Structure 1
Amino acid sequence: MSSDTEDKVELLENASEIMEDLADKLKKLYKYRDLFFENHPVELALQKHACVDVKKEALVKKFESYDVDVQIPFPLRAQFLYMKGRCYNISNKYDARAMQCLSKAVKLNPHLVDAWNELGECYLKNMNMKEAKASFEGALKHERNRLSLRCLAIILRQECGDLKQSEISSAMTKSVELAKEAVAQDIKDGISWSVLGNTYLCQYFLIAQDPATLKLCMSAYKQAWSDPVAKGQPDLHFNKGVALKYSECYGEALQMFDQSCRLDPGWQPPADERAELVRYLTEATKLVHTRGKLKAKRISNMVQTIDKKMLGDYATDSDGARKDVLLELVDIDKLQEGSNEGKVILGRVVGSIHNKNSVPFTFAIIDKSLKCVCVSVYNWANGRGVIIGDVVAVPEPLLSSHAMDSRLAKYEFQSIRVNNPLVLLVNGKRVNRNQYASTRVTSTYEVN
């Protein structure tokens, strides 16, 4: 409808003032939601969505009190519909009314970047990735902006689930580039930092379980933490917990999962991760302290038959060509906390732990000192590993102690982290290259 055919009697003469007032109320509504835990105790987490919905519906009534096709001047209609759609879209669930308003807004004004982005968010809530991607790309045609960039980074990560392994690397590289560009748009935006951290976390699982990638991930989360909006999101705590878990900072990981549960009691993934990690840590403690529940006589026979010949390439009397990696054989109880350069240990497997997603593959070894420790191996292809009785040589072991006694968990054990299974010798033989592979985790750690 053109301005010439509008009913001049019905047009709001103070439409601009009304729009400004609605925009201010909408801004306050989003601030109320985003900073809820800055102004309310976490004990009100269960009521958060209901509280937001009450305020949302009050503002919806104000928007709905105006007939956009009659009362709002034509030049302002796209903006009005965008704001109305954004009001509907504040809920965490899909609202068809938001889709209707936002679709009209972008038709009326294809250059309205905010409307394209909000429409993309709406499609995401409705799990329509194809249309969401088209919406964010439509926004970028008019302006490079952080919301479009970071949402496209998320969509690219999710698309990796349908790609071949050979195609994933380039997709993840593109996702990282988009997330970095989003951060560069506003380095104080914690949500963009959080998305970048999640991108690195996905890269860790989909490309290679490299500790350096986890460090980049944790660095991004640290930046996100300084933004109260991002810090109040349960998904930031959850994803940071995942990163801490695979950094083997178990106590901090449990605290992150627990806080995520408190911030959103109805969200199941953090509760599942917390329970799974507690189970893993309990099993690790039990495995080490009971030495796999093997009888003393069997353990005695196992350790007495450990042969130095099983050191293979790492043996001091090796005639092989790898003289550059000669290491000193030491007992497990002589290891120091942290790195043990120039050392190698040789022990027999007494048991293993079933771990969700098989990351890491964890087993326990014991040697003649009768000291038992867990060994967590990353990048070991699913279905591979060792069995009870195998002799395993671990060069330059990285030893860590883990202990906690609180309402969240009770555990105490030591473990050795191995990032590359190819450095291990199993029964005197080096692990085959076909046993090296990043394990693709099926559960999702995505956030908006």
Structure 2
Amino acid sequence: MIGAMSRQNHVNKEEEGGSDLMRKATEAADDLYRMRDTYFPSDSNDKTYKLQTQSQIALNLLDSIPPEERKLPTQRATYEYLKGKILDVFPEYSKKAEDHLSKAVKLNPSLADAWLCLGNCIWKKGDLTATRNCFTLALSKGPNKKILSQLSMLERRMAQGKKHCLFNHVYHDFEFCFLYVCSLSCLLTFSCLSLGADNQEEIVAESIKHAKEAIALDVKDGNSWYNLGNACLTCFFVTGAWDHSKLQQSLKAYQNAEKDESMKLNPDLYFNCATVNSYLENYERALSGFEAAASIDPCLNATEEVEKMINLFDKLDNLLKGQIKAKRLASLTSSLSEVQLNPSYRRATIDNLLDGLNKKIAVVGKVLFFIKHENITPLYYLVCDSNQICFVLTVYGISNDAIKEGDQITLLDPSFHNNGFSWNEKHYEFRSVRVDFLEQVHVNGKPVPPRHSVRSSIFAQHKP
């Protein structure tokens, strides 16, 4: 009897030892992914080396579990899952990782985390349908905020279909980055390709739905809020880049994400929030956001975004302070008061406008300069109204050959903003009017032809 009890105690100790090693291997895998998501050295090769080193340590720890402690199907499934997860920590697709994760779900189909990891692994080789199947199967095991967020992200990727346009600006996602684009590039001029899936809007609506479901499971989870922000930003472009309420929803979601301490080391959150602020022309907040992103991850192009913006503002400042002779301005603007307007619109000058949308108001002006800068959108012009007051015109959704220097333009329902902010001890101040659609501007007395309309798209790719 005593001998039997001793043998049982010995078996229990061995089981405890095996489970302890499995627990340590699980913690090592979690630490590996934490490093992937929060370690951003100035040299990306340092990160690759560290991931390789730490992944090998984690694999060695996993393989130190005695074979007899991974005989049961559930034990073997956990072992295969952890091995596949560790091997899949790199951005490149790994056939070995897929093989181990596939074994894990066959041995234990109830292992939701293994289905999630398998889906992420398959995503890297471009099989989006199989990826969705994995996420759906994972979700069938029970509500899970991580799975819902990944499914939401995948749906945004599926919405683009197979065709896309060349990109310029970037907004980043949690393992994948999304690039919003226009059909005109400062490097190349080309025709915009079709926007992908026919049911884009429906798929993105599903993406938003799943993002909200993730938040409902844990309203304090920053990553779920971050994911919703990305979904709303995608929706803004997919639906024609006109509904600014989607941008405001995206901005609010990012701000909620920032309340979670675990998101403080996510540079993409600050980058994306800055991108939205830039598009909304909240320039000071955009600059601060890009600077915060750069301080966390020097390898992001956030510093370059700050430099581009400051270079542009310096150009605007120099032009606005430049000495254009009064006689020259008087000559350029002399005919503006004679421009005939639609009777339903009231004529105004830039100093009569209120901040925000000015409905049923028309401002007539002369284009003095087209201001070249390093980004595709928006287009910037220096314009002078009939009172010889100069202001900045920002143009979205219209090609750069629709409005030229010397053109007389009529701005309908102008969206006005009085900009004033400081950066690095330099103060910038200028008045601006924003144009988002062809219908908001007439050039030389005529509506802008539809061929000048430019629509944005989304292109997703694996983050390097």
Regarding TM over 0.5, the answer is: yes
How far apart are the structure 2 equivalents of 1:158 and 1:296?
A: 54
Q: Does 1:172 align with 2:189?
A: no
Aligned residue for 1:416, secondary structure, equals: strand
Residue 77 (structure 1) shift = 0.9
Alignment of 1:12-31 (within 5 A): 14-15=14-15, 18-23=18-23, 26-27=26-27, 30=30
Could you say if the C-alpha distance between residues 398 and 446 of structure 1 is closer, same or farther in structure 2, counting changes exceeding 3 Å?
Answer: farther
Question: RMSD of the TM alignment (CA)?
Answer: 3.7
Give the secondary-structure state (helix, strand or coil) at the position aligned to 1:392. strand
Alpha-carbon deviations, 1:201-232, whole Å to 9, x = none? 12222222221110110111112112222332
SS of 2:153's partner is helix
Give the aligned residue type for 1:331.
T
Once residues 280 and 124 of structure 1 are traced to their aligned partners in structure 2, the CA distance between those partners, rounded to angstroms, is 39
The higher-RCO structure (CA 8 Å, 6+ apart) is 2
- Give the CA deviation at 1:373: 0.9
Matches of 1:44 and 1:12, distance apart in 2: 48
Distance 1:223 1:116 in 2: 29
Counterpart of 1:6 in structure 2 is none
Partner of 1:193: 225
Q: Distance in 1 between matches of 2:75 and 2:246?
A: 47
Q: Which of the pair is proportionally richer in helix?
A: 1
Q: Equivalent of 2:214, from 171, 182, 186?
A: 182
Paired residue for 2:183? none
Structure 1 residues 31, 188: CA separation in 2 closer, same or farther (over 3 Å shift)? farther
**Are 2:146 and 1:157 aligned?**
no
Structure 1 residue ranges without an equivalent (≥5): 1-10, 319-324
State the SS of the aligned residue for 1:14: helix
Residue type matched to 2:286 in 1?
A
Aligned to 1:388: 405
Q: 1:246 to 1:236 in 2, by over 3 A?
A: same
1:101-121: CA deviations, max 9, x gaps?
A: 222211222232110101222
Aligned AA for 2:444? N
Judge conservation of contact 1:375–1:415 (CA < 8 Å) in 2. Answer: yes
Q: Summarize the Cα distance change of 1:446–1:186 in structure 2 as closer, same or farther, 3 Å threshold.
A: farther
* TM-score normalized by the length of structure 2: 0.76
* Letter matched to residue 387 of structure 2: S
Task: Determine if the alignment matches structure 1 residue 306 to structure 2 residue 305.
Answer: no
Corresponding position of 1:62: 61
What's the secondary structure of 1:352's corresponding residue? Answer: strand
What letter corresponds to residue 112 of structure 1 in structure 2?
Answer: L
- Is the contact made by 1:30 and 1:90 (CA closer than 8 Å) also made in structure 2? no
2:417 counterpart (387, 392, 400): 400
Q: 1:307 to 1:361 in 2, by over 3 A?
A: same
Residues 253-292 of structure 1 aligned to structure 2 (within 5 Å): 253-267=286-300, 269-290=301-322
Matched, 1:352 2:370: yes
Maintained 8 Å contact 2:391/2:431: yes
Is residue 235–residue 447 contact of structure 1 (8 Å, CA) maintained in 2? no
Q: Which amino acid aligns with 2:371?
A: I
CA distance in 1, matches of 2:303, 2:112: 37
Tell me whether 380-389 or 430-439 shows the greater mean CA deviation: 430-439
* One-letter identity of the residue aligned with 1:308: E
**Of the candidates 229, 232, 238, which is equivalent to residue 206 of structure 1?**
238
Alignment of 1:24-423 (within 5 A): 26-27=26-27, 30=30, 34=34, 55-66=54-65, 68=67, 71-91=70-90, 97-125=96-124, 129-161=128-160, 162=162, 164-165=194-195, 166-209=198-241, 210-267=243-300, 269-290=301-322, 298-310=328-340, 312-313=341-342, 318=343, 325-327=344-346, 329-338=347-356, 340=358, 343-354=361-372, 358-378=376-396, 380-383=397-400, 385-407=402-424, 411-423=428-440
Q: CA deviation at 1:354?
A: 4.2
Equivalent residue number for residue 7 of structure 2: none
Sort the Cα spacing of 1:409 and 1:204 in 2 relative to 1 into closer, same or farther, 3 A. Answer: farther
SS in 1 for 2:339: helix
Structure 1 residues 381-403: Cα deviation after superposition (integer angstroms, max 9, x where no partner): 43553111222222443332334
Q: Which residue is equivalent to 2:173?
A: none
Is 1:289–1:372's contact at 8 Å kept on the other side of the alignment? no
**Paired AA for residue 421 in structure 1:** L
Q: Alpha-carbon deviations, 1:45-84, whole Å to 9, x = none?
A: 9777766665544333210223558754333110222133
CA distance in 1, matches of 2:272, 2:250: 10
Secondary structure at 1:281 match in 2: helix
Q: Distance in 1 between matches of 2:78 and 2:426?
A: 52
Q: Is the CA contact (8 Å cut-off) linking 1:113 and 1:142 kept in structure 2?
A: yes
Distance 1:160-1:85 versus aligned 2 partners, 3 A rule:
same
Gap runs ≥5 in structure 2: 1-10, 164-193
Give the number of aligned pairs.
Answer: 419
CA distance in 2, matches of 1:409, 1:102: 55
Asked whether the 8 Å contact 1:200–1:216 carries over to 2, the reply is: yes
Aligned counterparts of 2:448 and 2:405: Cα–Cα separation in 1: 17
Instruction: Provide the rounded CA distance (Å) in 1 between the counterparts of 2:461 and 2:370.
Output: 26
Q: 1:339 to 1:160 in 2, by over 3 A?
A: closer
Question: In the superposition, relative to structure 1, how do residues 16 and 426 fare at CA in structure 2: closer, same or farther (>3 Å)?
Answer: farther
Do the aligned partners of 1:423 and 1:431 also contact (CA within 8 Å) in 2? no
Checking the alignment, whether the CA contact within 8 Å between 1:45 and 1:264 is kept in structure 2 is no
